Chains A and B, each alone.
Chain A
Amino acid sequence: MSEVTYLEAIREALFEEMDRDPNVFCLGEDIGRYGGAFKVTDGLLERFGEQRVIDTPISETGIVGAAAGAAHMGMRPVVEMQFIDFIANAYDMLTNYVATARYRAFLPCPMVVRGPSGGYVRGGPFHSQNPEAGFVHTPGLKVVYPATAEDAKGLLKAAIRDDDCVLFFEHKYLYRRIKAELPPGDHVVPIGKARVAREGRDVSVITYAATVWKALEAAEQVEREDGLSVEVVDLRTLSPLDDDAIQATVRKTNRALIVHEDTRTGGLAGEITARINEQSFAWLDAPVLRVTAHDVPLPYAPSLEDFVLPQTGDIVHALRTLAAY
Chain B
Amino acid sequence: MARRSRGLGSGGTDIAKAVRSRQFPASAPHPGLSSAQLLELYYWMRLTRTLEERLVALYRQTKVVGGLFRSLGQEADSVGSAYALERGDVLSPLIRNLGSMLVKGATPVEILRQYMAKGDSPTRGRELNIHFGDTERGFIGQISPLGDMVPVMAGVTLSFKMRRERRVGLVYVGDGATSTGAFHEGINFAAVQRCPLVVIVENNGYAYSTPTARQTAAARFVDKAIGYGIPGEQADGNDVLAVYDVTRRAVDGARNGEGVTLIELMTYRRKGHAEHDNQSYVPEGEIERWERENDPIGRYVARLTGDFGFSPGDVTAIDERVRDEVDVATDLAERSAPPQPLDALVGVYADPPADKPLWYRPTGEAAVVSHERPEGWGTYSASAAERAR
Contacts and interface: CB of A to CB of B under 8 A. Distances in A.
A189 interface: no
B135 A72 contact: yes
Contact of A104 (B123, B153, B156, B189): B123
A105 B127 contact: yes
Interface string A63-82: 11111111111110100000
Q: Which size bracket describes the interface of B in this complex?
A: 35 or more
A265 interface: no
A96 B151 contact: no
Contacts, number: 141
A89 B140 CA distance: 23
A164 B352 CA distance: 10
Interface string B343-380: 00001111110000000000000000001110000000
B182 A139 contact: no
A199 interface: no
B114 to A, nearest CB: 11
A61 B371 contact: no
Contact of B158 (A70, A100, A142, A240): A70
Interface stretch (B15-23, B142-150, B299-307, B331-339): B142-150
B189 A63 contact: yes
Contacts of A266: none
A100 B126 CA distance: 10
B133 interface: yes
Contacts of B131: 104-105
A59 B189 contact: yes
Contacts of A97: 143, 145, 148, 152
A92 B123 contact: no
Contact of A164 (B153, B349, B372): B349
A103 interface: yes
Interface residues of A, number: 43
Interface stretch (A31-39, A50-58, A204-212, A214-222): A50-58
B27 interface: no
A163 interface: yes
Contacts of A146: none
Given A75-B159, A75-B162, A163 B351 contact: yes
Interface of B: 123, 126-127, 131-133, 135, 140-141, 143-145, 148, 150-160, 162, 181-182, 185-186, 188-190, 192-193, 347-352, 371-373
24 contacts: A25-B162, A52-B162, A54-B193, A56-B189, A56-B192, A61-B148, A61-B151, A61-B185, A62-B185, A62-B188, A64-B151, A66-B151, A66-B154, A66-B189, A69-B140, A92-B145, A92-B148, A93-B148, A93-B182, A104-B126, A104-B131, A106-B123, A106-B372, A162-B351
Interface of A: 25, 51-52, 54, 56-57, 59-75, 77, 92-93, 96-97, 100, 102-108, 139-140, 142, 162-164, 240
